[in-house]
Structure 1
């Protein structure tokens, strides 16, 4: 079997290569763990799964509906956490996993149910990063554009019907999910992305497999190891984070807090942060991810951080790069800011990162043309009546029909156009808006998925800002009013964020699915089923949280939404 020279493939082990060539490599074996991300293993498992998964992957409506129900509840919980701290994290999949252990589900069924759960939760990601800006520009006095008779005047006079963003989110969420059919072939099989942290999920499902097979002793040993490490981590996290002292202070902050330690971070005093800023976060999950990734991949993932703090920020300080201050409307040299290193990061390095993300992503897509080509040819073949590689003769659909992608693109374009025009938005701008959403969901979604697979973190807010810029440029260029521009830009960016979140969120389930024998068709099916209930919960939750935040009834940070609102207010 020839070894391909690609961007992400790791060298296989001799023992693993021998077992693959003989067709003897088994799921959950040491050789499987040792040869992950080699590409050779993934191709071997892909062919193996195409035959075996039809027997190994039962469909159970009860399990899927339970996953959706848990995910729908966590959609609202995750929104609150995301608006509170700016990072969206969900724990619903662990509840699904534990029920699967109790009921002795197959690992493949457990992963399907987790996929449905994650889908229902992730569809609301766009509402965390962008949607609250709509309410900030409508109700928050801090974003008033003037005053009349002592009363604030706002850029946006009224909130449009929530049904507009709900319908659009459902449709583009389905489209973003279907796009992953192509992404799966590119970056999970042909040139497998490392996807940091997925190994832990496989280890958990190995325990589920032991329990399903009745190997209680082996499962008990794994549970003890994981349970012990979980307990130690939980105790440490309690001391680090739980506020039991006055002013919401944790134990570690109470005894160690000061210039050198705060909120779980050993840090350089802010008063000395001129040329750079150095801190070390005591974050157990990052130790675990680094352990799984090994040095080379972990170093590559950390390269952006190292470049920022040891190259970009020191150079910016050395040359005293001018930074724009919105309050004064003037450029101020970096050395004149209170904490130069932090402002160098926020005002310079992050902007460079967005450009690098876009430029590197586009370059990566061009380089991947040779891999995109057969996938696109498969789409064309399906439209002409062929069955393509997604159908296994005599067994059924191995993967969701790829021909649904262009069909859904057409449906999304028409449906979004009809919904927005019916709501009174200008037809020309709506048509351009719908076309941009359908196209950007694929191309920027591909970039987001690639970054997610490389770092374990999806740049939803970064790519959403790119879409916001594009929408504002289009609307202002076509003579659209400032209010309509702001409303459509926010709604469009929200819908886009939800759509690409679906492409990126399911990469973990699909990555795990290759190694445990999942049928991709079932993973896609369970994911699609979670979108509609998750979207409904997300819209209602986001509207309530956003209104409460904008009117001062709820204390939420929403850093990304505030940035978007400030940008639109300035424009």
Structure 2
């Protein structure tokens, strides 16, 4: 827990900004209530929306790829000040607060979606972009209007009693940054460019191989290690490197420790003791462990342990916050029945939306939720293929609406108070509880299958988003209280930011599935099987996989779930709790692939080393303080260019990645009834003209390997690249999908050594950026063409 500062860290803030007020004492903000300087302007709302779009995309991308979202509020505050200084006249401090308030919606909406929505794709349930948008938007709106009645209590009545750690950090940036943060903005933008260029060259151009492994780099030694189930991997991406840079060495090491247990202890043990079994049958599957790779063993037997550990860690986190939960729910009932906060005679700095408007928005959000659930039940058939009756859909809608609203109402104050006290939000545990309770309600009403899962997970998304929004908004309110913003303006335009972020999320999540797929065919499945596994290499989405496992186990196929492995994970979480170690960090490490976690550890190690360079203490501290800027820039830039790369992979736009990729060769190939005709190229697959002769011959390829090659009239044929070139049986579907083949140099030692070298170069670049940023911050080398700073307008 963070303690509240004993005094203001800025000369511009009043002396009692962070201290408890004496009886009768009033806090006077920087901008008095009578001051009518610019606050809501086209500039502040436009820049806020732009940053919302950028950081919503970045947050959802990072959450899907690494299980951790970007903390968007601080970089948005820095960029608000930086861009505000470039315009004439300069932005006022109230405009900068409004930019930050609107933009902060990006992270909360992304968190709500990333924790739940991918679970539908993982469970192979079809969902439209509009359903994603409505789930996120409704949850964000509910989180906003449910916390408004509690604003005065948290922000004014408890002034100086709650530490508000995140709000304090942002407040200091907005206040002191008026004269100091132009250099910080430039470091952030340079890091953005570096991160974007680096990951685009890796994943778009494939100029070097960032997927490093001991199997490839150590030659025969690595192959022998792999035979024993031992393989180290590292994904050298700027996005993951930046994540480690901002997490810090302590938590990165704990996360990596989880991977060490999974990959270097549990996987080899399964390989050792399971190889003697001719066939191992468990959780509805049959496995030949002797033939399974370390990655396959991890996916089948170790990931469920990680899922169990994540789930129990979240629940223990809720239990540890029991007093906060109970007290917050009580506050929620009091706030709902309270009139205060919206009187016309209140000063500008205490004006909320009128209570009547707040109540109408709540009712509107509830009604929208009910309509959404009714439509889901109406358009989604039962397992038998028959549609649900009108009355059934109405029951589903009412039950889903009531459960969703009640849980949002109960959990919203919890999120706000948790953020105000400890700076963290118990989203994982609350979301898990929400999904379990909603599934129970759906089962009791007779709703199972796809429709039941969609409604349960949409409720989970809405509640998760509401919970995250309440924490973000109470932070905004406190910042506005310190500086002198108008709460009503923060509330009105928070709705706009939520809608914009929800639209971005509704675009990015389906895009990532189309480009990379949340689930991919299981390589260990028998031919013709439709068995799939989570795409851990690209889209691990750990929280969503946990939700997917729980929802599928409860609603769809409880008999064939690895409950024992989930239970073992729960025991691991309990042992971590008893040992006083961070449970969720270790559990995420157990679940996430070691390639991700070692990259995160590498970034944290570089940040740790950079903070210890420099001859003087103030230099070391200044270099350490650049970490948030460098990491945020790397992650945001990599995420935005990562989304561009995903677009370049789409067959719908012609897959332009085919023309820029160096290390991998991309081609279209037809897939008929789930069978890849490119991989299974045969004369029987081809559409031949009358009289044409076709045969298969063994031919030596460029690697010196003898492979089967199709010849038509003695001319070698390339594999078919479109559905028009293959025979499609009646009632079968054919789709053209993008496939790739890696070049030998890229997959082998040259490509991997190049990847290792570029990762080291990235580390050197981070050091140089930290040194440059520290010089600018200390005034040793002012940024070029920098004017003397004026006091805040």
Q: What TM-score bracket applies, with the shorter chain setting the length? A: 0.5 to 0.7
Cα offset for 1:370?
Answer: 7.6
Question: 1:479 pairs with 446, 452, 455, which one?
Answer: 446
Question: 1:415 pairs with 365, 368, 388, which one?
Answer: 368
Cα deviation code 1:29-59 (max 9, x no counterpart): 2774x75543429996656589526524532
Q: Distance in 2 between matches of 1:403 and 1:46?
A: 28
2:12/2:175 contact within 8 Å kept: no
Question: 2:84 pairs with 92, 100, 114, which one?
Answer: 100
Say yes or no: does 1:38 pair with 2:19.
yes
Cα offset for 1:70?
Answer: 2.5
1:54/1:519 contact within 8 Å kept: no
- The structure having more radius of gyration, on CA atoms, is 2
Q: 1:452 to 1:494 in 2, by over 3 A?
A: same
Count of residues in Structure 1 that have an aligned counterpart in Structure 2:
452
Q: Distance in 2 between matches of 1:343 and 1:495?
A: 27
Q: Distance in 2 between matches of 1:547 and 1:282?
A: 25
Q: 1:129 to 1:367 in 2, by over 3 A?
A: closer
Gaps of 5+ in 2: 218-229, 237-241, 259-279, 285-296, 379-392, 522-534, 555-793
Q: 1:466 to 1:394 in 2, by over 3 A?
A: closer
Q: Distance in 1 between matches of 2:244 and 2:518?
A: 32
Moved more, 433-442 or 449-458: 449-458
Q: 1:556 to 1:44 in 2, by over 3 A?
A: farther
Q: Distance in 2 between matches of 1:233 and 1:73?
A: 15
2:31/2:483 contact within 8 Å kept: no
Gaps of 5+ in 1: 1-6, 17-26, 139-155, 211-218, 265-280, 291-301, 310-325, 331-336, 382-387
Aligned to 1:526: 493
Question: 2:411 pairs with 444, 448, 451, which one?
Answer: 444
Between structures 1 and 2, the one with greater helix share: 1
Matches within 5 A, 1:445-524: 445-524=412-491
Q: 1:462 to 1:403 in 2, by over 3 A?
A: same
Aligned to 2:174: 205
Aligned to 1:129: 115
Cα deviation code 1:153-175 (max 9, x no counterpart): xxx4xx24433342343233212
1:198/1:511 contact within 8 Å kept: yes
Aligned to 1:85: 66
Say yes or no: does 1:390 pair with 2:342.
yes
TM-score between both structures, scaled by the size of structure 2: 0.49
TM-score between both structures, scaled by the size of structure 1: 0.65
Q: Distance in 2 between matches of 1:108 and 1:540?
A: 31
Say yes or no: does 1:29 pair with 2:15.
no
Say yes or no: does 1:193 pair with 2:177.
no
Cα offset for 1:109?
Answer: 0.9
Aligned to 1:178: 145
SS in 1 for 2:40: coil
CA-based RMSD: 4.7
Q: Distance in 2 between matches of 1:393 and 1:136?
A: 53
Cα offset for 1:260?
Answer: 13
1:42/1:189 contact within 8 Å kept: no
Q: Distance in 1 between matches of 2:13 and 2:22?
A: 10
Q: Distance in 1 between matches of 2:403 and 2:474?
A: 24
Cα deviation code 1:221-242 (max 9, x no counterpart): x767x689989999xx99xx99
Moved more, 52-61 or 363-372: 363-372
Aligned to 1:550: 518
Q: Distance in 2 between matches of 1:449 and 1:405?
A: 18
Q: Distance in 2 between matches of 1:259 and 1:30?
A: 55
Cα offset for 1:462?
Answer: 2.6
Aligned to 2:644: none
Say yes or no: does 1:64 pair with 2:45.
yes
1:131/1:494 contact within 8 Å kept: yes
Cα offset for 1:207?
Answer: 3.9
Cα offset for 1:401?
Answer: 2.2
Q: Distance in 2 between matches of 1:538 and 1:566?
A: 23
Q: 1:181 to 1:59 in 2, by over 3 A?
A: same
SS in 2 for 1:52: coil
1:195/1:456 contact within 8 Å kept: yes
Cα deviation code 1:346-382 (max 9, x no counterpart): 577655543344345553244357866763443xx4x
Matches within 5 A, 1:150-549: 156=125, 159-191=126-158, 192-210=161-179, 219=180, 247-248=210-211, 285=246, 328=282, 346=306, 350-361=310-321, 363-367=323-327, 375-378=335-338, 381=339, 388-393=340-345, 398-425=351-378, 426-548=393-515, 549=517
SS in 1 for 2:361: helix
Aligned to 1:569: 552
Q: Distance in 1 between matches of 2:116 and 2:427?
A: 10
Moved more, 557-566 or 192-201: 192-201
Cα offset for 1:518?
Answer: 1.6
Larger RCO, structures 1/2 (Cα 8 Å, 6+ apart): 1
Cα deviation code 1:224-266 (max 9, x no counterpart): 7x689989999xx99xx9999864569xxx9xxx9999999xx
Say yes or no: does 1:117 pair with 2:103.
yes
